[in-house]
Chain A
Amino acid sequence: MIRKLSFTVLFVLLLGLFAGFAVAQDAVNITIRCIASPPEEDWRCNNFAVVEEQVEADLGIELNLNLIQDNASWGDYKNEFVLASEAGEAPDIILSGHEDIGAWAPAGFIIPLDDVIPMHSEFEDIVPSLWDSHGYAGQIWGIPQDAEARPIFYSKLLLRDLGWSEDDIESLPDRVASGEFTFADMLATAEAAIEEGVVDSGNGWWHRPSNGPDFLYYYYGHGGEVLDMEGNLVVDRDALVATYELLGGAVESGVLRSDIIGLDWSEVWHPTVGQAETVLFAAGGTWNWPNWAINYVADRGGDEYLFENIGLTLIPAMGTGKAITLTHPLTYMISSGSPHPDVALALIAAITTPEHNNKHAIDSFHLGILNAQLESEAYANNRLLSSAHYMLDHTTSLPNHPGWNAWSGAYFLGIQAVETGEADAAGAADIAIAQMQNELGDGITVR
């Protein structure tokens, strides 16, 4: 009897196993790889799980989603996709910086989307300017996942100590946007704060402590260009020198510390800037805000503490006379090795809605990518997003070009040289240009 029962149980189990295999074989497997700082950016991948059933119903298929999401370093993350692509094991959807289009499109790792984008009405509502950063060789290669602004955060706490009125403080973003309050004014304010003992020398203004997109807006702000009309790399010496003069001058005047590059992000930079008690102005990104609220000032009241003590504004006008910021949209790209690019795109379309993108925008303080988001109640009523969305009107972006890496590396060398006093502005420009010419050869034009 027991023997019979055992056989029956075994038979049922095997039947179930085979049935499971049969179902699994029919299901469409989609792997999605995202980079995200937990928990505030988790919607980048998690949104796909939310729309899984909807897409299954729309397409009449069974989906088997494999979401891989972590907070890897950018270098490792990008190499992982390159190696996986070559090994034929790339995820179907990869989320990365739009500038990777410049390397991955010519390598054939991702597919152009021009012909298929019109098949999904969701994409019609994407803020038009965001598409500019998704092009390469005349085609579109990715769908924007988010946008952000890279503003100047200012400490209201310290400006009050400096004697600024509430009106002065609250009107600062408008005065910056109009060009009335310039970068030179910002540096002068920082100098005054140091002279009056409101902040220590070197704490008037901080920029990021490692290479990254932010640095390009100083060059843009002085009229520099990275690509010419034909899409070739260029470097404008005058803009380069002006940029290095600004950065080197800030160090010389004591506004900016000479060892800012190399400070530890999480151990020093974030806790210092987020607490608003030490640094007057800091160049950061909108997503820093929820990070600070969760990780650095939660015990002081989180968001409320930040609203009380920190404000954000565009980067004040430099040589061009116009306030500026830089947006670095992350982008969903579809791997050329994906056997189901149509399903992958349908999934991306399903999460490209105000409802789903708002969750990411609100939790992580990234700006919306859809016009309809601006009109949605959740977005419009969000104090933070509504205070920053206008920055998209003043934004710039990185170029999509295979040589951008060499260009930016050389540009950053000049910044390091001038801030540590190893070269003056003209010398730093010479260093950067020589490095660009050595690595890019005929691929760079010096103007």
Chain B
Amino acid sequence: MSEPNRKPKSSAALLQSRRNALRSYLGAYGFMAPAGVLVLIFFLIPVAIVLYLSVTNLASSNFTSDLAKMEFIGLKNYRTLFNDQFARKIFFNTIFYVLVTLSLFNVSLALIVSLLTTHIDRSAGFVFRALWILPRITSPVVYILIWKRMAAEAPFGILNQFNELLGNPTYNYVATNPWVFVVVVNGFIGVSFGMIIFTSAIESIPKDLLNASLVDGSSRMQRIRYVILPLIRWPLLFVVTYQTLSLLTSFVEIQLLTDGGPGLYRTEVWSLTAFHRALSNYFGNAQWGYGSAFAVLLVMIGVVLAVIYMRVFRFDELVAEPRVEAL
């Protein structure tokens, strides 16, 4: 419908309006610029470089940092990768590792720890949460050394010392249950992130709501199920997304614990393969180009998953306004 009474804007007013729009745009982009520059320098440019490396045959035996001197080989690295008889196994190892660690520890246990520590004495809750942060702040080498010392076979491992005392058989725990240790070791680190987010979300729930549920006669479990969980839905989704992507690229603890073994890539994950190929092997001549092909696929998987999560979890709504306060 037309607006006949509306006066046409004068050219000066139009100019002023455009200036205002530009100013607001500049303001918005100005605030985004620091983050944008960081993303450009530490994500987009490295991705572009790795993408280029993945179509070269760069190795220690022809290494150069001059992009123009690298030998372009097209998609050969990708053909080699897809023809690798263990690529499929490593891919599914990665899916398994991410799904199990995420679901059992990074989300579930983190949530349980948060719920438990927010339902006990405040200072005791703080102490327990501090303990759960220890795996995160301990150096990975020291952390894995502790686990290895604990799980080592008799007579070296602590667990087996108890087995010997009790007259039980002893085990080489990591070799016989590698996935259990890989998941638990990484999961204990992952718990702390979700725990902090969930705890702060639970703590920020208005007390009126919690008290109202008590007045209505809800049990603790009912209060968690019908009040707390719906109110921390957004932090939950954020943790799921962030930790999925984080687990996809994590490999340090696996490298130190099993180095992808035992046997044929039993616990090898995609990011560890990229590292092994491009940066680390016993006899040198690292395959920078081939390793980059693994890294590029990992980036692609990460980006696709991020987009899916953003769509499914409606991240535009997540960042729109705080949900707790909105209620």
Interface residues of A (CB under 8 A from B): 73-76, 78-79, 82, 85-87, 96-97, 99-100, 102-104, 106-107, 109, 210-212, 259, 261-264, 267-268, 271, 398, 402, 404-406, 408-409, 413, 416-417, 419-420, 422, 431, 434-435, 438-439
Q: Which residue of A lies closest to B87 (CB)?
A: A438
Contact digits for B253-284, partner A, Cβ 8 Å, 1 yes 0 no: 00000110111100000000000000111111
Set B149, B153, B282: member contacting A211, Cβ < 8 A: B282
Residues of B within 8 A of A107 (CB): 60-63
B152 at the interface (CB under 8 A from A): yes
- Residue B2 lies at the interface, judged by CB distance under 8 Å to chain A: no
Given A79-B280, A82-B60, A104-B61: A438 in contact with B264 (beta carbons within 8 A): no
Cα distance A74–B280 when bound, in Å?
8
Residue of A79, A109, A268, A434 near B152 (CB, 8 A) is A268
Instruction: Give the complex CA separation of A268 and B261 in angstroms.
Output: 17
Residues of chain B at the chain A interface (Cβ within 8 Å)? 59-65, 80, 83-85, 148-149, 152-153, 156, 172, 174-176, 258-259, 261-264, 279-287, 290
Asked whether, in the complex, the Cβ of B262 is within 8 Å of the Cβ of A268, the reply is no
Q: Which residues of A contact B80 (CB under 8 A)?
A: 438-439
Q: Is the interface of B mostly helix, strand, loop or mixed?
A: loop
Contact partners of B85 in chain A: CB under 8 A = 431, 434-435, 438
| Cα distance, A100 to B149, chains bound together (Å) | 34
A79 touches B286 (CB 8 A): yes
Q: Which of A210, A264, A422 contacts B282 (CB 8 A)?
A: A210
Residue contact B264 to A102, C-beta cutoff 8 Å: no
Q: B60, A78: Cβ atoms under 8 Å?
A: yes
Bound: A75/B152 CA distance, A? 25
A404 adjacent to B156 (CB under 8 Å): no
- From residue B87, how far is it (CB to closest CB) to chain A in Å? 10
Q: Hey, which chain B residues are within 8 Å of A435, CB to CB?
A: 84-85
A417: which of B263, B282, B285 is its contact (CB, 8 Å)? B263
Q: What B residues does A438 contact at CB under 8 A?
A: 80, 83-85
**27 A-B contacts, Cβ less than 8 Å apart?**
A74-B284, A75-B284, A75-B286, A79-B60, A79-B286, A82-B60, A86-B63, A97-B284, A99-B284, A104-B60, A210-B282, A211-B283, A262-B175, A262-B258, A263-B172, A264-B152, A267-B156, A268-B153, A268-B156, A405-B286, A406-B287, A408-B283, A420-B262, A420-B264, A422-B263, A435-B85, A439-B80
Contact A416–B261 (Cβ < 8 Å): yes
Q: Which residues of B contact A264 (CB under 8 A)?
A: 148, 152
If A267-B156, A435-B85 touch, does A259 touch B281 (CB 8 Å cutoff)? Answer: no
- For the complex, give the distance between the alpha carbons of A78 and B62 in Å: 14
Q: Which residues of B contact A103 (CB under 8 A)?
A: 59-61, 284-285
> With the chains together, A425 CA to B241 CA distance in Å?
44
Whether A79 and B65, one on each chain, are in contact in the complex, defined by CB atoms closer than 8 angstroms, is no
Q: Does the CB pair A402–B148 fall under 8 Å?
A: no
Does B172 contact A259, Cβ atoms closer than 8 Å?
yes
B49 to chain A, nearest CB (A): 14
| CB contact between A259 and one of B259, B262, B264 (< 8 Å): that residue | B262
Query: Does the CB pair A416–B283 fall under 8 Å?
Result: no
Residues of A within 8 A of B280 (CB): 73, 75-76, 79
Task: Give the nearest-CB partner of A403 in chain B.
Answer: B285
Q: Given A262-B261, A416-B261, A438-B84, verify A271-B156 contact (CB < 8 Å).
A: yes
CA distance A409 to B64 in the complex (A): 24
For the complex formed, measure the closest distance between the CB of A170 and the CB atoms of chain B, giving whole angstroms.
31
Please, which residues of chain A bring their CB within 8 A of the CB of B284?
74-75, 78, 82, 96-97, 99-100, 103, 405
Pick from A85, A267, A431, A434 the residue with the most CB of B within 10 Å.
A267
B267 → chain A, closest Cβ, in Å?
10
| Of B64, B156, B285, the contact of A402 (CB 8 Å cutoff) | B285
A15 to B157, CA, bound (A): 62
CA distance A408 to B282 in the complex (A): 10
With a CB–CB cut-off of 8 A, which chain B residues contact A109? Answer: 63
Known contacts A264-B152, A438-B84; A413/B264 CB under 8 A: yes
Contact of A262 among B62, B84, B174, B290 (CB under 8 A): B174
Q: How far is the CA of A149 from the CA of B264 in the complex (A)?
A: 29
Shortest Cβ-Cβ A-B pairs, 5 listed:
A420-B263, A259-B175, A75-B280, A103-B285, A402-B61
Could you tell me the distance in whole angstroms from the C-beta of A407 to the nearest C-beta in chain B?
9
What's the Cα separation between A431 and B263 when bound, in Å? 13
Q: Are A74 and B262 also in contact (CB < 8 A) when A86-B65, A102-B61 are?
A: no
Query: What chain B residues lie within 8 Å of A271 (beta carbons)?
Result: 156
Residue of B nearest to A264 (CB): B148
Per the bound structure, the CA–CA distance linking A76 and B64 in Å amounts to 18
